[in-house]
Amino acid sequence: MTTDPPLNVLFLCTHNSARSILAEALLNHLGKGRFRAWSAGSSPRENQQPNPLAIEALQRAGIATEGLSSKSWDVFAQPDAPHMDLVITVCDNAAGEVCPYWPGQPATAHWGYADPSEVQGTQDQRREAFLQTLHAIGRRLELLVNLPAASLHRMGLQQTARELAHSDEVKA
């Protein structure tokens, strides 16, 4: 059994209310101590909270939601912030923005997902959109957490994370 410290992963989206929240909670659930996840947004709205449908989807899946909150990515650029090993954007808007300087120059990747909060329709259709996004993120995170330790060391982490961005194309 390895005693390596967990890999710190930051998921970024514009408002930090849906996709990045789903990814944070799911990786903390699946990570089995090998990973520690956080999420943040490039421009969360004032008093932004996680989308209630994101929280509901996580709870229905049996994933803890305590402590989830929407916050600015500036929190993670502070000197006392946890050191990130990997930063993943999960929406196309955040991927195109100029990110803050991340201490330690973590690996970066973009895993784009459609925004479930933009789905129009009945409450059941909107719930289904969040569930589908949760499952899509989950498929990619399952691959990440099951990688051998050698694939997660500093030199290979960026390449591995970027290859996982195309995992849905391979397993479609």
In whole angstroms, what is the distance from residue 82 CA to residue 103 CA? 9
Buried residues in 98-114 as b, exposed as e (16+ CB within 10 A): ebbebeeebbbbbbebe
DSSP letters of 49-104? ---HHHHHHHHHTT---TT----BGGGGGSTTSPPPSEEEE-SHHHHTS-PPPPTT
Token pair 């090993």 is at which residue? 85
In whole angstroms, what is the distance from residue 112 CA to residue 21 CA? 14
Residue of 18, 53, 88, 91 marked active site: 91
19 has catalytic annotation: no
112 has catalytic annotation: no
Long-range contacts of 60-63 (CB under 8 A, 24+ apart): 60/131, 61/134, 63/25, 63/26, 63/29
Residue of 7, 10, 13, 84 marked active site: 13
53 has catalytic annotation: no
Residue of 99, 131, 143, 165 marked active site: 99
Q: Which residues are catalytic?
A: 13, 91, 99
